[in-house]
Structure 1
Amino acid sequence: MKHPLIHLAIGSLFVVSGSVMAQNNAPQDGVKVGEMSIFRKLAGNGQLEGQAAQQYAQTMQQAQEQHALAPSNNPQVIRLRAIAAKLIPFAMRWNERALDWKWQVNLLGSKQINAYCMPGGKIAFYTGILDTLKLTDDEVAIVMGHEIAHALREHGAERAGKTMAANLGVKALELLASVKGYDPNLAGALGGGVAKVGMLKFSRDDETEADVVGLDIAARAGYDPRAGVALWQKMGMASKGAPPQWLSTHPAGSDRIAEIQRHLPEVMPLYAHAKGLDLNAITAYKTNVKGIAAVD
């Protein structure tokens, strides 16, 4: 569903100090994921971060020109920045480059159910995701942790690198077809179709990885990772008629819930430690929407 975009933005810089060990792989405790993709090196992270900073600044400038810049005392802005300030220190361990990022958090007024974190730590939330889904602080942290994880795992550079490699593959297929006497245009079209389906799969894998890493970050910051289950139940209510999973860059909601539940044994101890609670004494997570059961 498309809605008119009403820009509402605020910039906020977070400076995080302290020595935090950063690494490309998962920490020793918490969730485990593999090495970051080598394809990200093809695109060049520094260049992407610079481009992202420019694009982000332009978006903020446009919002200012439209007189849609919310004041710093906007309750939702204060809320988002407070949650980000808790998450960011625990993000550093996933990527040492994040130590030098100039983190920002902005609120974009739109009915779109969306949020993102661009390379370099440029975070934006849309009012639609906060208002439509009635997100609790724990659920905001799950969304934000997921988006931060995309930047930390350098998925933007990875996708750019994979696109470059796929394009080279299609060109090679066209050349081979021409040498063999076949129609290079037909070969290129077939190869491009296969590459497109493959890129959708890569994107779904990135989404799953971001879900898992985001859970780890949120739990360490003291936010209940079980909120991810309620979040995707809410998302399912709001996204009726979504495309089938194999034609989508995002995994199906039921698959995401199953993946979150699979990793709860890894992240619930982190949450309990952050809250200073006995793991066995933690009560079920209850969201604020009727019809969604408590999550044990």
Structure 2
Amino acid sequence: MAKLFYLSGLTAALLLAGCQAVNTTSGGAVGVERKQYMFSMLSTSELNQMYAQSYQQTLSEAQQKGVLDKNSSDARRVDAIAKRLIAQTSAFRPDAAQWAWEANVIDSDELNANCGPGGKIIVYSGLIHKLKLTDDELAAVMGHEIAHALREHSREAMSKAYGVQMANQIGSVLGVGQAGLGMANAGVEYLMTLPNSRSNENEADLIGLELAARAGYDPNAAITLWQKMEQAGGGAPPEFMSTHPSSSTRMSSLKAAIPKVMPLYQQAKGQR
């Protein structure tokens, strides 16, 4: 047990030496202010380049299969909503205006959308059609995904994964047994990875809510969106063991934040 505590202390010291405490975005009206710890050896530009290559490969494979949708009404909707949301990203981080943003639709039954590092968006048509999303609801889910990219949650997760790997290596060197390493890994996972993953989802909810409001989309659509997602999902795992907030927690957080962004929505609607 003494070795295990020593492992934790030494690992923490080495992690801090290689980490930078940053806040990738401003807090906005929703007040997202959590400090993030990133390994300095993994830069934003490097990760953006890496993801851009993967993104282009995904698009190329979709095109070969005939499922890359460039011309349908879905594609036009996604493009129009993306442009309005992207125009508001500078409210959270000015450098996002220089990102090489892309938004594409893949014809698939999958209930999914994502925005990777550097602003690479994919929306799967199943999300639009199976949930019968309005433009406001589609803006809510796209805003959520864009928020993940603005907050660099992927880079943060990779930094944490590197920390877990370092803990394993140090434990092997110190001769900590497999049981001890298992305990250390469990501690790192629950105390470091899962809580932050849940907080990341909450941050994406809140920033996405504000992005949509600033772009002139009704913030209340975030509630109906997650209600539809909950119905489609048929329930959720216990919150403590999940990387995502429970639906009730998520909707409570969104409802509390809507009054903060409603003036932004009303202002944007008045300008359109």
Give the TM-score band, short-chain normalised.
0.7 to 0.9
Deviation, 1:68, is 2.5
Alpha-carbon distance between aligned partners in 2 of 1:187 and 1:174, rounded to the nearest angstrom:
10
- Which residue in 1 is equivalent to 2:203? 209
Point out where structure 2 has 5 or more consecutive residues left out of the alignment: 1-23
Deviation, 1:114, is 0.9
Structure 1 stretch displaced more, 62-71 or 229-238: 62-71
Percent same amino acid at aligned positions? 40
Deviation, 1:195, is 1.9
Deviation, 1:40, is 5.7
Match of 2:193 among 196, 199, 204: 199
Name the Cα RMSD after superposition: 1.8
Q: Does 1:75 align with 2:67?
A: no
- Which residue in 1 is equivalent to 2:27? 26
- TM-score of the superposed pair, with normalisation by structure 1: 0.79
Deviations 1:115-153 (A, max 9, x none): 100001100011121111111100001101100000001
Q: Does 1:171 align with 2:172?
A: no
SS of residue matched to 2:88: helix
| Letter of the 1:47 counterpart | E
* Alpha-carbon distance change, 36 to 144 in structure 1, aligned in 2, over 3 angstroms: farther
CA contact (8 A) 2:67 2:108 kept: no
- Which residue in 2 is equivalent to 1:266? 260
Alpha-carbon distance between aligned partners in 2 of 1:71 and 1:160, rounded to the nearest angstrom:
32
Structure 1 stretch displaced more, 43-52 or 213-222: 43-52
Point out where structure 1 has 5 or more consecutive residues left out of the alignment: 1-22, 278-296
Alpha-carbon distance between aligned partners in 2 of 1:208 and 1:186, rounded to the nearest angstrom:
33
- TM-score of the superposed pair, with normalisation by structure 2: 0.85
Match of 2:238 among 244, 248, 269: 244
Alpha-carbon distance between aligned partners in 1 of 2:141 and 2:50, rounded to the nearest angstrom:
24
Report the count of equivalent residues. Answer: 247
Alpha-carbon distance between aligned partners in 1 of 2:153 and 2:39, rounded to the nearest angstrom:
7
- Which residue in 2 is equivalent to 1:127? 125
| Letter of the 1:207 counterpart | E
Deviations 1:55-97 (A, max 9, x none): 000011111212233342x100000100111111111221233
Q: Does 1:159 align with 2:157?
A: yes
Alignment map for 1:23-172 (pairs within 5 Å) = 24-27=25-28, 30-39=29-38, 41-72=40-71, 74-172=72-170
| Letter of the 1:222 counterpart | G
| Letter of the 1:59 counterpart | T
Deviations 1:142-191 (A, max 9, x none): 10110000000111111111121232234334444x2xxxx522211221
Q: Name whichever structure is richer in helix by fraction.
A: 2
Deviations 1:197-243 (A, max 9, x none): 23122111100000000111100110011111111111111111432
Alpha-carbon distance between aligned partners in 1 of 2:196 and 2:168, rounded to the nearest angstrom:
17
Deviation, 1:35, is 4.7
Alpha-carbon distance between aligned partners in 2 of 1:50 and 1:172, rounded to the nearest angstrom:
31
Q: Does 1:184 align with 2:177?
A: yes
| Letter of the 1:90 counterpart | Q
- Which residue in 1 is equivalent to 2:11? none
SS of residue matched to 1:49: helix
